[in-house]
Each structure stands twice: as structure tokens, then as C-alpha cells.
Amino acid sequence: MKRKNNLTRVAQENEIWDLAVIGGGASGLGVALDALSRGLKVLLLEKSDFAKGTSSRSTKLVHGGVRYLAQGEVGLVLEALKERGRLLKNAPHLTVNQPFIIPLYTFLDRWKYSIGLKIYDWMAGSLRLGKSRFISKEETVKKLPEIRKKGLKGGVVYHDGQFDDARLALIIAKTCDEMGGCLLNYAKVNHLSKDEAGIINGLEFRDLLGKKNYPVKAKTVVNATGVFADKILQMDNPGAGKMIQPSQGVHLVVDARFLGGKDALMIPSTSDGRVLFAVPWQGKLVLGTTDTIRKKPKMEPQPLSSEIDFILETASNYLDSAPKRKDVLSVFAGLRPLAAPKEGSTKTKEISRSHKVIVSESKLITITGGKWTTFRKMGEDTVEAHYKIHGMAQQKSTSAEKKLHGYTLSQVKGHLQWYGSDAARILQLQKENEDWATPLLENYPYTGAEVVWAVREEMAQKIEDFLSRRCRILLLDAKAAMHMAPKVAAIMAKELGKDEDWIRQELEEFYKLAKKYLIHQ
């Protein structure tokens, strides 16, 4: 996946794209994948880095949505369970079967959750990841050593999927690239072009690195910009009303010892009526999430102090030695692009999580809502709208069967398993250069070879791209990421042909960003 080659292709070919997709997160990549599976010509433009926004800040779960079942969203759960099964099948190198335990403190809870989860199992059908079952108090404590023992009656085990969201985004991008798609990061759309009838026939984007504008012709333009969808809708029609209500979800990352064991904890009912997860992930424990209405979308949303307190307080009700503020290694926030509620309603849990495909008068297609688990189905529905607005016969979608880049059933041990079949090539880079084989920081496995790989094969352009999304250290341990930054900057500068000024500026920017992931005591 070479950025330079893709930029040259856009500049030289002057072709008419079937779809020009704006947005390189879960929904945009889902659209590109599905369109390419039907043989369409696709250009995807991302103003920052792939999955820079919400798509790299999830709870890291590929799930049907247990809590949506309680809200009666049966259709949404069925769709998500089907897509969950497909994703685990098409990307076994990026997904794992994660057991969850709901601790029970009343006998009524036992029946309530056991019945609910049996329905969840039944709905998953042949794509089920494992049977839910009741376990005794002793077994619950054995699996979750730090769970609050007082009043504990037992637990219910159920299964869902877990993944690395940013790496999945990269793997889909690489898959699309191999299928003939043209993808660019740091490419900001600044204008939509229209014909005499007011129908969109292309766009103009700016290469933010090369500081140059490029005109593009396209049969269909897709707005897949998540919480920023309103900006593109207003670019199309300056009088367009607000369609998106950003809702913030915050996660805290702490040492895995605060829960112990390999199973995840699911707290089914918190003081604000949500569920809270404590999930082992890449050697740490992720606690979250919240659901807080925010007025404006931001690329780097900041967690509120009240959200941090809420997560720590809820965790302290269920863990014997709960983490405090000083124990938080990193905090990250993402914004969900929910449909703006009707006047007078502000409860985010009342807003449907299902996705919507909207066609404007200008034939701009906008995809909003949804979640990572259903990214492929969101893409499929969006591409169907493309055929409909042009009155064209549909080509069959084959994205449901598409094995994603790096697909392998024989994974290497350790963190390189997330690279799938590419792991062998990273190990080869380590052999080529002794320095690249050395860990970037003591106690963490990431090496210089991964930085080289990220630049050469995964379009990493800034040190943040590597430290936040190619490897996940910024989200796992913000201080460690700051310590790694100088080595990463030096390797990237050499690969990208940059000078000392670039290194200095990059480090300055990264330190400023990384401080936002730290909690002030």
C-alpha cells in the first residue's frame, strides 16, 4: 500500500471513479470493500489517518450487543451476530473468542441473565462462539480473582468477539488496495462539484502533505465521515440541518492485575442504565464506557473528569482492589455518530444504534450510525443505494466471503499475531538489521522493524500514526509511548527522507497529543 503510487494514479489517470468515498474509518472502509467486491472503481479519501477518529477508540469488541437485546432491538442484534461470525471467519488473525462473565449478587439476576443470554446464543445459531452457562461462586472467583466476593452468588459466562480496531482498519485498507482500490490518508475534501442540474459529479481534495489540490470525477460521492457527516452535508447544501448528535465514550486502561485472569467482566447495569466492561486487551485491562452528549465533533475529544470518576466508581463496586486515578496508564475518548434526537430528548441510550443510508437531492449518499461489528453490512447497504440512484443493475456483492489481508490459520505467538501472514516479513526485517530487532522500549515487544513496515507498507506518515494506530501503545500506556517517540521518529525520518526539523516538529506535536491521554491526579 504505497501512498505515492496512489497519488500519482489520481493525478495522472483522470479517470471517472464509480465511487469516491470520503472517510477512512469503519464505515468508509466498509463501503470501499463492498464496492470493490462488485468490481467497481473506488477512490477513498481520509483527511487524517485511517481510523484516526472514533474507529480506533472502541471497546475492542466484535459483538452482537447484549444490551440492545434488553432494549428490544432484535433486528439489530441478529444482524450484528451474523456479521460477528463473518468477521471472525474472514480475519482469524485479528479476532479472538473472548469469554465474558456477569457476576450475580441476587438469585433473580441468575434467571434474568441466564434466560437473556440463552436467547443471545440461540439468535447466533451456527455462528455461536460458545454456550452461555451458569458457574458457581468458586468458579467465578477462580476466573476473576479480583471480583468482589461479598454477596457473590455465582456468574454467567457468555462469549463475544474481541479485536484490534485500528489494525482491522489497516487490514481492510490493504485488502481494498490489493483489490484495485485507490486509498489516500491526509487527503482532505474541500469542495464538491456538481453538474448543471445540481447533481454531484465529483470533488476536489487537498493533499495535506504535498500541499496540492486535485480534482476528481466520480459517478457517486459517499459521505462516510462519522461524527463529521454534517460538515460534508453542509458543503453540499449550506442550509442543511444538523443530523448528527455526537455521544462520547471514554475508556480507561489499567494494569491487568486489577481483574486477574483471562476472562472479561460485564457489569450489566450501572447508575446511568448502561453496561460497563472490564476487558483484558493486549496485556492490559480496558474499562469502559460512557455515553455523554457532546455539542461539537472533535478529532481529539477530551474525557470529562466526571466520566473518569464514573468508570472508577462503578469498577470499585465490583472489584476488591479497584484502580484509582493514579493507576490509569492511558485514557481515550471516541465520539459515536448517533442520529440527532427529536426536540426535547437527550437520552443517548434511547437513540437507535442501527445505521442509516441517506440520499440528498444532489445524489450525495451519506452513511451514519452503526458500529464496527456491522461495518461490512453498512458498506453493502450504501453500495446498493449507488445502484439505485443511477437505475443500474446490481453486481453481486461478495464482501461477506472476502478473506481479509494477512488471513492465516497458523499464527505466530505474541503481539505479531495481529499482522497475520505479514508477521513473517516483519521477522525478516529484524534479521536484515540488528537495530530493527531491538525493542523500542524495555517491557514492551514493539521493534524498529514494525516502524519500517508501517512506513513502507501501511502508509504511516507521522509518528502518531505508528504509536497510536500501527501499534497501540499510546492507548495502552501513554508515558511509554512518549519514551518510544524519539526512536520511532528517527527511524521514520530515515524511511521518509525527512530532516532534523521534521523530527523536532513531530516530537513536539506528539508530546502535546500524548499528554491528553494522561490523567491529572
The tens digit of pLDDT for each residue in 455-503 reads: 999 999 999 999 999 999 999 999 999 999 999 999 999 999 999 999 9
| CATH of the domain spanning 415-517, picked from 3.80.10.10, 3.40.630.30, 1.20.200.10, 1.10.8.870 | 1.10.8.870
439: helix, strand or coil: strand
Domain ranges across the chain: 3-54+166-243+350-401, 77-163+246-334, 415-517
Q: What confidence category does residue 349 fall into, taking pLDDT thresholds of 50, 70 and 90?
A: very low
Residue of 127 and 237 predicted with greater confidence: 237
The H-assigned helical ranges of 318-433 are: 375-390, 423-432
Q: Residue 69 pLDDT > 80, yes or no?
A: no
Name all contacts of 407-414 with Cβ < 8 Å and 24+ positions apart.
407/90, 407/91, 407/92, 407/93, 408/92, 408/93, 409/92, 411/92, 411/93, 414/445
Q: Residue 18 pLDDT > 80, yes or no?
A: yes
Handedness of CA 450, 95, 406, 497 (dihedral sign): negative
Which CATH architecture fits 77-163+246-334? 2-Layer Sandwich (3.30)
Range 403-423 average pLDDT: 93
Common-topology check for domains 77-163+246-334 and 415-517 = no
- Residue 388: its pLDDT value, please? 97
- Residue 370: its pLDDT value, please? 86
Q: Residue 210 pLDDT > 60, yes or no?
A: yes
C-alpha cell of 15?
479517470
Phi first, then psi: give them for residue 158, nearest 5 degrees: -140, 170
- Name the fold adopted by 3-54+166-243+350-401: FAD/NAD(P)-binding domain (3.50.50)
Strands 16-22 and 42-45, bridge-based pairing: parallel
pLDDT in tens, 75-84: 888 899 999 9
**Cβ atoms within 10 Å of 312's Cβ, excluding its own:** 19
- Residue 412: its pLDDT value, please? 86
In our burial notation (b when 16+ CB lie closer than 10 A, e otherwise), range 163-189 reads bbbbbbbbbbbbbbbebebbbbbbbeb
pTM recorded for the entire structure: 0.95
Calpha distance 20→187 (Å, rounded): 12
Residue of 496 and 273 predicted with greater confidence: 496
pLDDT in tens, 173-203: 999 999 999 999 999 999 999 999 999 999 9
